[in-house]
Structure formats: structure tokens, C-alpha cells
Structure 1
């Protein structure tokens, strides 16, 4: 007992230091080794021997510590452990692996202390060895977990990037391209392919692959027994880990795996959520990816794969909605553009041509319109290649017979559609297009083509009806234009021209007329009725008839216009019509004229420049505003004067003042003063208007009296000779030249002009030939001059048949050739009867 009365602890407890020190050393929880400075073991405890399986005799004096390590650790002992111990005198927690007698490696942590003698030289090394097996396992597990986490993080990052790519991909094709690239970075797959479901055709369509040469990569029906079709039907993820697994369930896939050296395959359905709470998921496609080695996927990888299928399915669903909306918008826009383009053309053939030009290449690579109305048998095509002619004819016949579209796909995979152009139950023709079939939305594409054909048929029918109405109106208008303009008369000549608007299908109200009121009084008129079409043409005919009825020897232009004003009270469509009306006394050469709101006549007398006649102006017919009094003006005309009446289409232009138009007309009219009357009005229209103009043009040119001297200048164009001959024939006849003399002069003049053009201007298409004709009681003299250079011809040399005809036709012929050109002077004596007439 202790002094305090308690138990004597020192008697009942043994203190740790009371244990046997040797026992503590031998059975310590760690290994102890004592080695010489060279590493030879001189002492080792039982714990180390138990771990390694060695006996003391095996180690002491026979083994160095480094001999107990793995080859790699022996090198580390030599290069790091021993030098560090020598420098520092101690090392701590050096990880080394000790090899036991059975070859098993024991992970350890080693602490060593170098003891030195009194002289400082190394004496012994004391080493403590800890068993690190559990720690190594823990580190391995920790490292594995870290690697798994890093791999998972990498997959998540890849998946996030894929989701971002899917969100940025607006079209189905771009979504498919993003999905097919996903397995390689996410799961280290070697190749992948994607199939999309075409519900309308009940097919799986191969759309993208990173290696199309591997496997059986092509389209297939959804009812196929192949693995991809099975996954699409069931909507379940399939992982085929080995070729043997594939042989058991999908023999076709096993064969493909053997050919392509793939060992594992994943078949992932691309799904979207249910449309309602009772429906299942919808499979939009299948993603197939493979590995060259057998691969076992972790639960985490499978979760990511399923998530990829859901994200890809949602992106595909969104892209399909976008594609459908975009396709509808594009088709709607095309229909609107095509309709506008057809409306811009008025003629039937032009509209048919515009239709195929719009269709190719926007929606097709070939198109054809075959019309059964209008120009029957018309075939317009554009682009290529064309389908087989025999098949096309058969489909065309079927479409016409059934009045229904014929949709077909040729052997080359291109769709050829023949649509009847039907309006009010009548087939106008067919519209055929050749285009790549749409993988999706085939029904919508068919409806689009039907809609296009309906619009085209209506446009073509409108053009046909418009052309029919236009033909009727033009026939009516031309029948109402003066067809009985007075012909050959030595006292005057009339030349007319009518040119319809090139851009307007409807005829206008422009018209002209010339008639003899009495044997010695000539009336000429040019007018313009407001409006277009048949009504305008009819009104024009009524006005023409009214003018002929009102014209009389006593009335005069002013009274005639007053009568037309009263006429407008009964025919309202004639109101606001404009016209210029003139009466010419062929005895006195006096002209009386009046303008009712019309452009002024242009008079060109033999001497002086052209002048606009600005007197006798009043309001249009039937006008109730302004000065409605009708006035007229009288003026004497010199023989050879030319009077031009015209409508506004000749000079009015958008973007140009009318004064400028008047200037241009006067200038061109003056330039053509010496041109033959025949073709003069048509030439003026060609110069001032051309053939592409939006308004009708009507001209009437009157030449009064027979010119004493005929002077004409024509271009170096053989076509001008006929016009000159017609003009000269009228001039000679007006002077009473007998027929024999007249024909001889015309022949000689024509040959002389032809020679000047051929030899004088052979290299100059812009040359001018001047012709002057004078007449006396006994002789007709013709002078033909050019300013060209005749090559290889002499004055007395008869070149060919032309000069021979001149010499035979004329009584006297002479040539004057110098550096300025060549002049031929020819004279022919008139017969006694002709001379007596003068």
C-alpha cells in the first residue's frame, strides 16, 4: 500500500522501459538494418527478415542493402540515395521497393542515418524500413480516382463543346457533322458514322462518317435486320464489346468488324423527348462508333454516351424544324420571285423561257416546258443533263392524259417530275424538272412543285389570252389605219410608218390617215387616242371615220375640229384625244392646218432648216377646260417641201426634256432632207426610237409638188439603191418622162451607184454617194459622185457588165476621176411625146 492508502502502482504495472530491449528491436513494427558504409548488412531485426523471407545468415556479411532492391531502385540508390546520405548524414522517407526471396516486391519507406567516428570518417549506417504496401494501394486508388476524374472532366468538357457546337449548328447536315466528330475526342473512338431516319421513305440514310470505307455504310430500310436498324426501332443503347458478342446478336456487324479490324462497337440512338405524356421517345437517328481494341465502358462513360444521344437528338429535332421553316421560306420566296419574273414578260414564249431560266439552277439542274397551245410543239430546256427521251415522253403523255403530276426517280438517283400546266380544266402543256430528290420533306417538295406549276399555268394562260387580245386589237387597229392612202400622184407623195410599243402588249390609239377631199384637195392627219387596247383602237377607227365624214371642200380644219368636239359628246372615249389635221390645195400649194393638243408639224422646205409650225393650236378634243375655240392657220408651201406629222412616242423620253426631243428630231430630219422619201419615216423611227421603246410611234411624211432638181445622198449600202430608185421613179413620172426614158435612166443610175459603192467604198462602209438629177425639155441628166478611191480602174475601161449597161442605156456618159473621188455624168434624150407634155 502507498502512504496515501492507495494501491502501489509501481508494484502492479510494468513500465515500457522494463521490456527487454532486444525483444523490442527484433519485433519492432518496422525493419531495422545496420550496415557498413559500403552497405554490407551487419545486423538486421526479425521484422525485416519476416517481410523478405531471408535468414540472418543470408544477409549478414553477404548482402548489401542495395542488393535487396529492384534494378531501378538500385540505380536510384547509387545515383541519389547514397550521395544524399553522404552529404546530409541522413535521409528520410525514401520510397524503395525491396525484393523478397520469392521475388515479391515490397513497397517501403526508408530512413537512414550515417554515424561517423571520432575522426569524422563514416562508421556505420542505421536504416529504418517501413512497410508501405497499404499506402501504395491507397495511392494507386487515389491516382486511379484522379485519372478517372480527369477523364470524366475531359469527357464533360468535350461534351460541353459538342453541345455548344450543336447549339450553333442551324441545319440538320451541320448537326450531323458535329455529332459524328464527337466520339473520337470524348471516348477515343477510332471511327464513327451517323444514320438519320427518313420517316417519309421509312429509311435510315447514311449522312456522315469519319471513315466511310470501314463497315457497311449505306442507306437501309428501317425494317432491315442490320444492327443499326434494330437500334433505331428499339431506341436502346447497344454496346458490342467483342466480335463474339456481335456474332451472337448481329452477324452482319460481326462480319463488318472482322473486315475493318474493329473489336468494340457502340450503337447509340439519337432521341428526342416524347410529344405527349403517353408517347415514347422518338428516334431521329443512330450514331455508330467503334474501337480497334476491345473496350469495356464504365458507368460514367455510358451515362455520358446516353446524354450525347439525347443532346444530339434534341439538336436534330430543332435543326429539322429550322430546315423545314427555311425550306418553306425559300420555296415561298422562289414562288414570289418566279411569279414576278413571269409577270415581267408578256409573250407566251418569253414567259415559258423565263420559267425554265428561273427553275435552273435555283431548284433544278434541267427544266423543260412543252406547250400545246400557241406555237404548238415548243420545247424550251435549260441546263443538263436531260433525262432519257423515251421515259420523258411516256411520263409527259401520262401527265397530259391524267392531268396529274408524274413523280419518278431515274436510275442515276435524280428525280424527274412532269407536271401538267392546267387552267380551268384545260391542259396548256407540261412543265418537267430534273432535280436531286429531297431526303426529307418529299411531300412538301411535291406540293411546292404543284403550286409552282399552277402559278406557271395561270401566267402562261394569261399570256396566251393577252397575246390573243393583242392580236385582235392589232388586227383591228391595222385595219382601221388608212390602207387606201393616195398612191402615185405627180403632185404629192405620202410615206407613213406605225411602230407598236415593244414593252406593252396592248395596242395604243396612235393613228394616221391621208385622203383626197376633192380631186385637188388633200387631207392628212395624225392623232393619238387616250388609253390602250381594243377600246382605244375602236375609238381611233371611229375618229378616223368621223374626220372623213366631216371633211369637205368648204369646212376647213377649224370647223372640222368643232364637229369632232360635238362627236366627243356622243363618244366619250374620244374625249381628250389629240390630233394635227392639215388640208393642202394641190392647185395653189396652200396648206391650212390646226393642232388639237397635238405636237406641232415639222416643215422642211427646199431652202432653209426645218421649222416647227406652232400656230393654230388649241385644246384636245372634247376638252372642257381652257380655250376651247378652234383656230386654223394657212401657209403656202414651196414645191419639194416635206411636212412631217408624228405622235409623242417619237420624241418623248423619261429623264429628258421635250425641248431636247424637238431638237434631236429637227436635226435628224434635216440630215435626211436629201434621202429618198421611201423609207424616210421608218428610218427616223429607227434612229430616234429603236426597237425597244414603251410607247407607240406613228409618222406621216408628205412631199408636196415635184422638185425641179432631185438631190439625194445615200449611204454606201446596196440596200439603199432600191429606195433611191423608187424615189427617182416618182420624180421622173411627175415630170412626165416617157416610160422608155424613165426605165433607161433608172437602170443607168442604179448601176452607177452600185459601182460607186463597190469600187469607191469597198473598204469604207460609211461612205456617201451623192445623186443629182436635173431635167430639161430635151434631156434628163444624172450625176453620181463619190469620194472614194477606185482601185485598178481607168476612165476608158469597161469593168464588167455594169458599165456596159450604162453605156447602152444612156446617150452620153462621162467620167471625172481625181484624188477627191469619181463623178459619173449621164444624159438621156427624152422622147417627143414626153417633151411635148412639158
Structure 2
């Protein structure tokens, strides 16, 4: 039977708890301490009375420890019922912080509810010190390894740097990482200009950053000339050998300066070594470089010099390649625009600031001359004009010398032996005077001159084509009849030199019948233009009171049988009975007319359709459709250039046209067609655009909404004047109403919408047998009463022109003006 082993002394459980090698705490679920052993009290300096029942465990922790207790310790303990080896700093009674490791166990009752928390606390002071020593040793090892890596990285960076700028950036940061230098700067020798210039620095405030001649007595220039390493260890030494460094060393507090020549070979091989630059770096206080460090410094100078030599060759090759790519790109860019002025503008946009700080093209090909410039500041105008005149007269380029006051190059723009004008450029300082740059500019001017001459010839030929095109279009539109008004617009293709086949015409068949026609002949050129003129003449010859649109299209079919070039032409033909307000139309393969009645949305007239003229397929039965139109209706006929685009469907084009047409419901007829073309087509378009728009009858009530733009007033005046004349308002009364309305609108723009250029003004005019009434409404903000704000000449004119003037500020500002009618004699 095994005997029970007993220790040779008595084990007291209470004594084991109190004097255990670790601290024990028992706390309630909220952290309140209910029991603590003597070990913990001895470590922290607290008494049992200080803690038990008075403090929570988290109250003994540092602020950071309290946050960690709240965000990590307590949640983990509730989830897991235990946590292990959590590091906390316990604040002792005397304010010391005791590093500890904490283990806690959460005890629960039979119902599973938290009852107590038992915590074991271990003193981690020695462990923390050990960790600090390990960390320090690791940092020392890492610093040593980092220095090795830095030296390796410098060599790798120099080997990988393809350009002079990248080599300079790698070299200028080497002293700081390799030797602990406080700052460093790098200077490069420019043999073509015989100068030395600073290119990079880790502290730009410590050096002289202006360029210097290679013959300068300054320290950097002398080291570059001699090609040997200099280490200046004190201000006194600098005063003796390099006086220009004294002020910099005193101001910056750097007592040791190293001047390292960057050479293409070892310094002792004078015959083959070339100094390409100087690396200057300095240290705070005094710093003695060991022989090993000096060897590394010299090696750095050789490696950097060789890298610079290689980079300069690369830079020269890359620069030549860039210039070739730039010349090819600018040639393509100029070819993309065909007009002379846009081409000159694009040339300047490509040159400044990509190549020049400032550039100007001056062309003596028009009156006045074409001048386009960009960048700045502009050179002295008098000297520039004098130089431009000499270059234009001689045809020889001019480049500035160092002592010239005019710091820009001037080159002639020549083509086919003629001087078209001049190109003036101011290059950045680092590019001026270089032979390669001069050759580049001469080639650039040659290409630009040829491109601009081609654009001039293109415009000349295009103008001839457009003149021919317009001469073949319809002559003067019918007018002077209050029952209708006609507006037309023709816009030739932006990049076409040949005349097109789009055309329109409007004429009176009889005093009460108006004919409108829009057509499109297949193809371009003289043949298409001739065919267009023949078709227009055929339409006029076939039109009669008895024929009607369907019979007229049938007659055109017979005409096409004799004129083959007119086959597949499309035509939209409309006849309007001015007395009865009835429209009859027929479309032979053409886009449907667009109708806007005084009320409702725009409507495409899709009836009366058949195939193109002379078509051998499709529906060749010519039909027509009749429709009654109320007064104030507008009908638009147009060609496909208005809506067809390769980038979208034809349905989208119809939708956009209808939307824009509806938006201009109340716009004056003059300018309506041109406005539609500007919105839907723009200036750079690939097809001709023809439009003809007719307004039928006279609106009983004139209602217009215009933007807060004074340019709109002239259109409103024309619209109002025509409307008053259509209602037989005598000239004197009409002109007075137009004047008063113009002044009221001007006041609304100036005072109501002075800070809102997007404001809208509503104008409503009505006429009765007795009087004309005009109401002008804006929703802007007037500063003070209207009669005070607008009490100038405008308000006086309104009151002198009208019999009655009323102001209403209920909803915005409304000016109601009334004038009695006097019948025309």
C-alpha cells in the first residue's frame, strides 16, 4: 500500500493564496474587487481597504488599458468565459505603471448568469525589459542591414535610371541614406551652353540655385574644373579655400561639406575622365569621414558620372524620338481640321505649353491678318513687331542670343516659295540656344506652313463651292402676306468641297395657294447641283391649282425617266390653301414634315408617302393627304442632314428634333431654323442641311417666354412688330407698343435678373378693337419698389408711349401696359 507523501512543513491554503508568486483578484461581474491577495497589494502599494469594495479592476488600468478592457477584455470574457495573457499596465498607488499579464475566468451560477470573475495577474516587468533589449538588438541589426541595402539600392537605381533627371534624383538622395548627410544638392555641367546649373536638392534653402558659368570662382565650378574630391571640415577652412560657402555654412549650421565631382572614370585617369557634374552634401556639426567612407564616396562619384553619361545619350535619343513623334502628331492633328483659322488655333494649342511657354501665329493672308497666340507673358510688342517684319521680309529664321532683349524665336511660315506669315515661340530657358532645338523648330515651321497653306486653298475652293451651291438654291422667298411667313436655312457640309444635292423652294402657285418643297439628290458635285436645279424648275413648271401634290410627284417620275441623274432623289412637296387654312402634302421617299399646332405636341405627318423618284422598287403609287390647320400652326420641312447620325438611330434623331421644335414653340420665326441647326447639328457636320419653315395665319394672342439676355430683345421686337401688323394695328401705335415692351423687358433683365442670367421673362400681348395690351412678367428680385429702381429713362419712355401703366408685385414683378388703337387711314 502506497504511503501518502507529505511535505516536511505545513501547507496553509490561506498563506499560499496571500503570498503566491502572482497576484489574485476576485471581482463581481461589474468589476468591483471583492478579494485580493497580498502579492498584488505588495506590487502595487495599495491596502486591502483601498481596493476591496471601493475600486473596480478597470479603475487600476491606464487610460489606454481602460479602453482595451472595455472594447476587448470584457466582450471576450463574456463570450468565452475566460481570457489569457492579456497585457495591461496597472497604475500603482504612487503613480508607477506595472507591466502585467492577466488571465481571467468568469464563473456562472446554475442559471448561467455571471457570478464572479477570478483574475490572475503576473508581473511582466522583467519580460518587458527583455523584450526591449531584444527589440534594440533587432533595430541595430536592421540598421546595419539597411545600410547595406541602401548602398546596393543606390547602385541598382543608377543602373536602372534611364534619364538624366532620374539619375540626378537617385544621386542626390544617396548621401542622406548612405552617410547620414543632412542635405545634398547636385549640379550638372552643360557643355553646349558652357554653364553649370542646379537640378535637384533635398533642401533647396541651403544652396545657391542660380546657374553659373563654368569659369565661375564659386566652389562648385572650381571642383567641376579640377575634377577632384574636396571635404571642407570647418568654416575656417571654407574661408581659406571656398569663401562662397561661408555664409551658407554659418546660416545652416552645417560645419562639414563634401564636394564630389561626378566623373566618367577614376580621377587619376585624367586623359579619359570627364566631369559631368558635382554632388555637394553636408552634415550637421562636425563629421569626420573614415578612409572606407571616402572610398565609397569616390566610388559613388564614378558610378554616378558613368550613369549620367549613359543617361545623356539616352536622353538625346529619347528627345529626338519625342520630337519626331510630336511632329507626326501635330501633322495629323492639323489634318483633322480643314479650315484655316481652326487649323492655326490648333497649331498654337499644340505648341503652348507642350513645347513653348508662349507661341503666336501671324498670317498675312486676309484683312485683317489672322493672329492666334497662347501662353504668356507676351514679349515686348515693339521689339516683337520689328522682328516679325524682318523675318517675314527675309524668309529666314531668327533665334535669340544670350544678350538679346527679345527672348523668343521667330520663324517664317513658308509654302511653295511664298511666306504666309510667321511663327513666334518662347522656349523654356533650358531649351533655348540648343542646336537640336533650332533644327526641330525649323522643321516644325516648314510643316506648319504647308498645313496652313493647304487650309487656305481648301477654304478658297470651299467658298467657291458654297457660292455655287447658294446660287442654285431658291431665290427670294415669298412674303408680304400676313397670312403666312417663311423662314429658310441652308448649312453646307463642314468638310466638303463639292456642292451637294440638298435644296428647297417656296413660291405662290396663285394668290391663295403657297407651295413648299424640300428635296435631296443622290451624290455630290456639279452633276448633283445641275440635277437639283432641273428638279426645282420641274416642280415650278408642274405646280398648278388643279394638279395637287400627288399629280406633281407623278410628273416628276416622268421627268426622271429623261434625267437619269435625278433617279432616287427624294422630295417632300406641300401646298397650302391660304384662304381655307388647308394643307395638302405628299412625300416621295423623303423625311416626313413636322407640324406644330398652337396647342399640343409636335406631330410628324406620316401620310401621303411613297418611294423615291424613279424608284424601281417599293410603293410607286403617288398619294397625298389633306389636313386642316389652325391659325398659328408651324410646318417644318428638312433634309436628312438635320437628324441622321452614324452614332445613333434614326428614331433618336426624330425624337431630338421634335423635342427641340416643341421647346421653341414660342420662339420668333426669324432664326428658328438656324437655332435648330446649331443645336442638332453644330458646326462640324458631314452632310448638307436644308430647312424651310412656314407659319400659317396670325396668332390671336402673342405669348412668348425669353431668357434674361438682351440679345433676345431684338428677336422679340421683330416678332411683336409682325404680329401687330397682322392685326392691322397702325404703325404709330405699333411702334409705341414695341418700344414700351422692349424697355419693360430690358428693365426686367437689368433689375429683376441682375444676378440670375438663367431667368425667364414672359410676354403676353392681346389686341381688341379698342386697345393693345402687353403684360411683361419676371420672377426676379428687385431691390426696392419698381418705380424707384427703374425710374430712369426706360420707365419714362414706357409712360410716354402707353396710355396706362400698372405694376404688380404679387408673384414676381408684372408690368401691364395699355394703349388705345387709332385706325390706320
1:271 to 223, 239, 264: 264
Q: CA deviation at 1:317?
A: 2.3
Q: Take 2:229 and 2:739, find their aligned partners in 1: how far apart are those partners?
A: 99
**Residue 743 in 1 paired to residue 731 in 2?**
yes
Q: CA deviation at 1:525?
A: 0.7
Change over 3 Å in CA distance of 1:606–1:230 after alignment to 2: closer
Change over 3 Å in CA distance of 1:280–1:827 after alignment to 2: same
Report the 3-state secondary structure (helix = DSSP H, G, I; strand = E; otherwise coil) of the residue aligned with 2:385.
helix
Change over 3 Å in CA distance of 1:567–1:359 after alignment to 2: farther
8 Å contact from structure 2 (residues 516, 574) kept in 1: yes
2:764 to 767, 770, 781: 770
8 Å contact from structure 1 (residues 189, 289) kept in 2: no
Change over 3 Å in CA distance of 1:767–1:432 after alignment to 2: closer
**Residue 283 in 1 paired to residue 274 in 2?**
yes
Change over 3 Å in CA distance of 1:570–1:388 after alignment to 2: farther
Equivalent residue, structure 2, for 1:421: 413
Equivalent residue, structure 2, for 1:602: 594
The Cα offsets for residues 73-132 of structure 1, whole Å up to 9 and x where unpaired, read as: xxxxxxxxxxxxxxxxxxxxxxxxxxxxxxxxxxxxxxxxxxxxxxxxxxxxxxxxxxxx
**Residue 511 in 1 paired to residue 503 in 2?**
yes
Aligned residues: CA RMSD: 5.8
For residues 250-329 of structure 1, what are the structure 2 equivalents within 5 Å?
A: 270-271=263-264, 281=272, 283=274, 285=276, 287=278, 307-308=299-300, 310-329=302-321
The Cα offsets for residues 9-49 of structure 1, whole Å up to 9 and x where unpaired, read as: xxxxxxxxxxxxxxxxxxxxxxxxxxxxxxxxxxxxxxxxx
Equivalent residue, structure 2, for 1:360: 352
Change over 3 Å in CA distance of 1:226–1:557 after alignment to 2: same
The Cα offsets for residues 706-756 of structure 1, whole Å up to 9 and x where unpaired, read as: 66x833223477542331222332453xxxxxxxx7335534654675687
8 Å contact from structure 2 (residues 260, 301) kept in 1: no
**Residue 728 in 1 paired to residue 724 in 2?**
yes
The Cα offsets for residues 641-682 of structure 1, whole Å up to 9 and x where unpaired, read as: 654323345555677665565566567767877x58742744
TM-score by length of 1: 0.60
**Residue 633 in 1 paired to residue 633 in 2?**
no
8 Å contact from structure 2 (residues 504, 691) kept in 1: yes
8 Å contact from structure 1 (residues 759, 791) kept in 2: no
Count the aligned residue pairs: 640
**Residue 351 in 1 paired to residue 343 in 2?**
yes
8 Å contact from structure 1 (residues 578, 621) kept in 2: yes
Change over 3 Å in CA distance of 1:337–1:781 after alignment to 2: farther
Q: CA deviation at 1:498?
A: 0.8
Change over 3 Å in CA distance of 1:447–1:596 after alignment to 2: farther
Change over 3 Å in CA distance of 1:331–1:534 after alignment to 2: farther
Equivalent residue, structure 2, for 1:713: 703
TM-score by length of 2: 0.61
Equivalent residue, structure 1, for 2:437: 445
Q: Mean alpha-carbon deviation: is it higher for 155-164 or for 308-317?
A: 155-164
Report the 3-state secondary structure (helix = DSSP H, G, I; strand = E; otherwise coil) of the residue aligned with 1:408.
coil
Q: CA deviation at 1:782?
A: 4.8
Equivalent residue, structure 2, for 1:495: 486
8 Å contact from structure 1 (residues 195, 208) kept in 2: yes
8 Å contact from structure 1 (residues 495, 701) kept in 2: yes
Q: Take 2:609 and 2:228, find their aligned partners in 1: how far apart are those partners?
A: 95
For residues 674-689 of structure 1, what are the structure 2 equivalents within 5 Å?
A: 678-679=669-670, 681-682=672-673, 685=676, 689=680
Equivalent residue, structure 1, for 2:775: 786
For residues 9-28 of structure 1, what are the structure 2 equivalents within 5 Å?
A: none
8 Å contact from structure 2 (residues 161, 167) kept in 1: yes
Q: CA deviation at 1:313?
A: 3.4
The Cα offsets for residues 476-511 of structure 1, whole Å up to 9 and x where unpaired, read as: 333333232223236x43412315379657676543
Report the 3-state secondary structure (helix = DSSP H, G, I; strand = E; otherwise coil) of the residue aligned with 1:353.
helix
Equivalent residue, structure 2, for 1:456: 448
8 Å contact from structure 1 (residues 215, 256) kept in 2: no
Report the 3-state secondary structure (helix = DSSP H, G, I; strand = E; otherwise coil) of the residue aligned with 1:473.
helix
Report the 3-state secondary structure (helix = DSSP H, G, I; strand = E; otherwise coil) of the residue aligned with 1:432.
strand
Report the 3-state secondary structure (helix = DSSP H, G, I; strand = E; otherwise coil) of the residue aligned with 2:264.
strand
Q: CA deviation at 1:346?
A: 4.4
Q: CA deviation at 1:514?
A: 1.0
The Cα offsets for residues 382-429 of structure 1, whole Å up to 9 and x where unpaired, read as: 222333334433432343233232221455999522122222222222
Change over 3 Å in CA distance of 1:783–1:428 after alignment to 2: same
The Cα offsets for residues 256-302 of structure 1, whole Å up to 9 and x where unpaired, read as: 899999999988571269xxxxx97462525588999999998x999
Change over 3 Å in CA distance of 1:533–1:613 after alignment to 2: same
Equivalent residue, structure 2, for 1:578: 570
Change over 3 Å in CA distance of 1:200–1:516 after alignment to 2: same
Q: Take 2:747 and 2:259, find their aligned partners in 1: how far apart are those partners?
A: 91
Larger Rg: 1
Q: Take 2:402 and 2:384, find their aligned partners in 1: how far apart are those partners?
A: 10
Change over 3 Å in CA distance of 1:170–1:402 after alignment to 2: same
Change over 3 Å in CA distance of 1:827–1:230 after alignment to 2: closer
Equivalent residue, structure 1, for 2:637: 645
8 Å contact from structure 1 (residues 814, 825) kept in 2: no
Q: Take 1:620 and 1:196, find their aligned partners in 2: how far apart are those partners?
A: 76
Change over 3 Å in CA distance of 1:758–1:369 after alignment to 2: closer
For residues 172-251 of structure 1, what are the structure 2 equivalents within 5 Å?
A: 172-176=164-168, 178-179=170-171, 196-201=188-193
Report the 3-state secondary structure (helix = DSSP H, G, I; strand = E; otherwise coil) of the residue aligned with 1:381.
strand
8 Å contact from structure 1 (residues 495, 680) kept in 2: no
> Which consecutive residues of structure 2, in runs of 5 or more, have no partner in the other structure?
1-144, 250-254, 707-711, 754-758, 779-784, 789-794
The Cα offsets for residues 600-645 of structure 1, whole Å up to 9 and x where unpaired, read as: 2234667887653322222334545433x25131526467465432
Q: CA deviation at 1:229?
A: 8.9
